[in-house]
Amino acid sequence: MAKYSEHVKIDGNAMVADGVNNGMMKAAAKDDRIIAVLEDMGFPGLGWFKENAPERVIECGIAEANGAVMAAGLAAEGFVPFIHSFAFAVVSRACNQIRQSILQDRFNVKLLGREGAWGEPGISHNHIEIIGITRVMPNLVIVDPADVVEAEKAVMAIAEYIGPVFLKIEASPPPLRIFTEDYPFDLGKAYTVKDGKDATIIACGYMLTESILAGELLEKEGIDVRIINMSTLKPLDNEAVIRAAEETGAIVTAENASIIGGLGEAVATVLSEYSPAPLIRVGIEDEFSQSGRIMPEIDELKTHFGLGAEDVALSVKECMAKRERLKKRK
């Protein structure tokens, strides 16, 4: 088994949403300015709110435009509203409202968007464009936690951060439980899950799971790959990208989202501006998602999109070959 960093201990699978639940309860217990804004899609830790602070639950119904701007009004008065729904509803449905009424004045509103790149609901709910849509918005911090532990710490961190944040809650198959309880989550900082010298995989969200599995596959072939968890997509940890490019010389990005506007493009920008290195972006091509069953023996859409560990491992080898070709040409 590969040698991981000290805060990594792989231990079965767990839902990201469970971590968000825990984080939400802890944050809300600590800070009574936090208000749960519901849009008829439940809320993380709702049971805790109902029991301990029912007055801090505001139900807006299926009216996301009003929900976003009303929350901005609460934030203007010093409260910390968290809005929760599907990502396509809480963010995309209210893009213009978020832009003008939240981001323009940097109001302290947190957007929790459930999103699964694949799964049964199909094209409407598998909102793979969400990272691209949000990355272009000024003043917005974007976080895509990789596992249950990081999700809990991320929610508590964004509750303390003053400013608007979009946190993606992975709704696809449960990722691996990756981090130990003392994992030091730092908003805006990448975390090196495993050091390596031959190439680097930069992953976010669920794809850190597949990247770790890809690392195990590559290790069997004698390839020592570095794996970076880039859970904060904006602002991006440029330093980590540049260091990876300089020290390993081949970069693969992995995200279960559209490769347009996503993590891959963000990393590509840093590479081409500061430290050019061959890059392969693993993600979903310019297409919509669809319905697909997630079963232990087969995950139909993961296979369809080519986002499994084997696909990531293959891309790493391809990228290393690309590096060698470029060296020869020089």
Partner 1 sequence: MAHDEKLISELEEKADIVRRNIFTIFDASQMGHAGGTMSLVEIVTALYFHHLKIDPKNCDWPERDRLVLSKAHCCEAIYAILVELGVLPRETLTTYYRYGSPLQGHADRWCTQGIDYSGGSLGQGLSFAAGLALAEKFKVLRQPPSQSSLMPRYITRYNPLYRSYCILGDGECHEGQVWEAAMFATKYKLDNLINIVDYNKFSLDGPTNEVMQIEPFVDKWKSFGWWVTEIDGHNLREIVDVLDLASNLYGDGKPKCIIAHTVKGHGISSWEAAHTHIGRGEDISRGVREGRAKYGEV
| Size of site (CB under 8 A) for partner 1 | 29
Please, which residue, 107 or 206, has the CB nearer to partner 1?
107
- Rg, C-alpha atoms of the chain: 19
Q: What is the DSSP string of 119-152?
A: STT-TTT--TTHHHHHHTSTT-EEE---SHHHHH
- Using left for φ > 0, alpha for ψ between -120 and 50, and beta otherwise, residue 92 falls in alpha
Contact pattern from residue 15 through residue 54 relative to partner 1, giving x for each residue in contact according to CB under 8 A and a dash for the rest:
--------------------x------------------x
Which of 31, 42, 52, 73 contacts partner 1 by CB under 8 A?
73
Please, which residue, 60 or 202, has the CB nearer to partner 1?
60
Tokens of 262: 């996503």
Piece of the chain touching partner 1 by CB under 8 A; list 44-52, 103-111, 194-202, 282-290 = 103-111
Q: CA dist 245 to 77, 218, 230, 266, Å?
A: 45, 19, 15, 14
Which of 14, 17, 46, 106 contacts partner 1 by CB under 8 A?
106
Which of 13, 52, 66, 124 contacts partner 1 by CB under 8 A?
66
Please, which residue, 81 or 264, has the CB nearer to partner 1?
81
Query: Is residue 42 classed as helix, strand or coil in its secondary structure?
Result: coil
DSSP state of 100: I
How far is the C-alpha of 328 from the C-alpha of 330, rounded, in Å? 5
Please, which residue, 104 or 180, has the CB nearer to partner 1?
104
Residues forming contacts to partner 1 in the complex (CB under 8 A) are 35, 54-55, 58, 60-61, 63, 65-66, 68-79, 96-97, 99-101, 104-106
